[in-house]
Amino acid sequence: MGGRVGQAECHKCYIKFPKNEMKKIEVKGSRSGSSMSANLTDLTKGLSGIRMNEGRQYYGQAWICKDCQGGGKGAAIGCAWFIFALFALLLFLDTGDTDTASTSTEATIRTPSSE
Ligand SMILES: [Zn+2]
């Protein structure tokens, strides 16, 4: 029933894995960071060069292995969580430690205007 699972090359590490162990991702543009230099050389060649480069670029789906998933999307989510945790910690520290100080200063400032 299942048969053989096809293999696909990882978009990031270029190692082949079975597709059922990988994840499909959306890709846009060229493979590596060489697109910038390619564009620059095309600019010197003229507009036709840029057109050619765009035609060569591939849009669509690529496969990514589990390892690289951790360093890609997962890292972004992890980073977001880290920021969230840090923010929560800062808020907690702020309210826990300097709460009395900040409210007292606020009170002294607000007292004359409200009365
Ligand atoms: Zn990989």
pLDDT in tens, 56-113: 565 788 999 988 887 545 556 677 888 888 889 898 887 755 555 555 555 566 666 5
Q: How far is the CA of 64 from the centre of ligand 1 (A)?
A: 5
State the distance from the centre of ligand 1 to the C-alpha of 82, rounded, in angstroms.
Answer: 24
- Ligand 1 centroid to Cα of residue 62, in Å, is 11
Query: 110 in helix, strand or coil?
Result: helix
Same domain, 65 and 82: no
Contact 27, 73 (CB under 8 A): no
Instruction: Look at phi and psi of residue 49 and say left if phi exceeds 0, alpha if psi is from -120 to 50, else beta.
Output: alpha
Question: Residue 24 domain-assigned?
Answer: yes
Percent of the chain with pLDDT over 70: 48
Q: Both 47 and 18 in a single domain?
A: yes
11 plus 39 within the same structural domain: yes
Residue 106 in any domain: the answer is yes
Q: Which domain holds residue 37?
A: 1-71
* CA 51 to centroid of ligand 1, rounded, Å: 30
Same-domain pairing of 67 and 22: yes
pLDDT surpassing 70 at residue 45: no
Residue 34 and residue 83 in one domain = no
* Identity of the highest mean pLDDT range in 8-22, 26-40, 75-89: 8-22
Output DSSP code: residue 4: P
Q: How far is the CA of 11 from the centre of ligand 1 (A)?
A: 6
Contact 16, 63 (CB under 8 A): no
Burial annotation 5-16 (CB, 10 A radius, 16+ → b, else e): eeebebbbeeee
> Is 115 part of any domain?
no
Residue 26, SS3?
strand
Cα 75 to averaged position of ligand 1 atoms, centre (Å)? 14
Residues 55 and 13 in one domain: yes
Q: Taking a C-beta distance cutoff of 8 angstroms, is the pair 3, 58 a contact?
A: no
Same-domain status, 25 and 66? yes
Tell me how many domains the chain contains: 2
